[in-house]
Structure 1
């Protein structure tokens, strides 16, 4: 369950890069947001138990809403003009997705992608994470704190991996 909460608890935007993201300051993911999975269900997905003879409580089951093919998020206003364009141009689409999964699904980030995220700079990494968090209005503060913490952890691990590679040690990730 904690892993699932970390899905929305982690540094975001470096992960999902596209040509459109560089032009419009938006990024796309191919997953349903947490609130769509847990809070919304189509009326046909509910199933009520038969009434309990003793006057007991009925249970209602909800099925998850179907996942959209793509979810689009807009980042918050840039700290300065061109900030997101500059940051997003430093990470490949493949590594962007891998970093996103590393942050939201607690997956491993490859050494190659760690090099890209470190190459983009800490300010870019933290700025994009903050930009995404600013857009998550309904997310409880405790989860936002967890996202920030996971974002810092991914950054620190990637710096370590990148430094090991520079001195000739092949990290086992």
Structure 2
């Protein structure tokens, strides 16, 4: 099961990077670069992978990654997950992913406020 989760995580990371840098898939190259420069650099790569695995897979997130996510900010979190969920291969389940995104945000905020 761990191997499957790892493979899913790697798939989504590769997909996210491909979509961000391949003009045929990205909404606008400048928008992808802006997201990268202002949002993704605020969290560690491990936490970014964990967040993607939670939203698009069936993983759990550590308290420390929750703190990073909250520091990244809701606008960045919402925008990045929406950006990935808008891919043609994922769009059919976009509503589910956006709900999971919001649930993850609420969970992380509750952890961050109690710590």
TM range (shorter): 0.7 to 0.9
Structure having greater relative contact order (Cα 8 Å, sep ≥ 6): 1
Instruction: Give yes or no for the alignment of 1:155 onto 2:105.
Output: yes
Q: Where does structure 2 lack aligned partners over 5 or more consecutive residues?
A: 21-26
Q: 1:137 to 1:95 in 2, by over 3 A?
A: closer
| Higher helix proportion (structure 1 or 2) | 2
Scaled by the length of structure 1, the TM-score of the pair is: 0.50
- Aligned residue for 2:18? 73
- Aligned residue for 1:30? 10
Scaled by the length of structure 2, the TM-score of the pair is: 0.72
Largest Rg, 1 or 2: 1
What is the CA deviation profile of residues 72-94 of structure 1, one whole-angstrom value per residue up to 9, with x for unaligned ones? Answer: 53133328x72331101101011
Query: Shift of the alpha carbon at 1:137?
Result: 5.5
Instruction: Give yes or no for the alignment of 1:112 onto 2:64.
Output: yes
- Aligned residue for 1:88? 40
Q: Distance in 2 between matches of 1:128 and 1:95?
A: 14
Three-state SS of the structure 1 residue aligned to 2:91 is coil
| Higher strand proportion (structure 1 or 2) | 1
Q: 1:144 to 1:138 in 2, by over 3 A?
A: closer
- Aligned residue for 2:49? 97
Q: Where does structure 1 lack aligned partners over 5 or more consecutive residues?
A: 1-6, 8-28, 34-69, 166-173
Equivalence map 1:2-81=2 (5 Å): 30-31=10-11, 71=15, 72-75=17-20, 76-77=27-28, 78=31
How many pairs align?
98
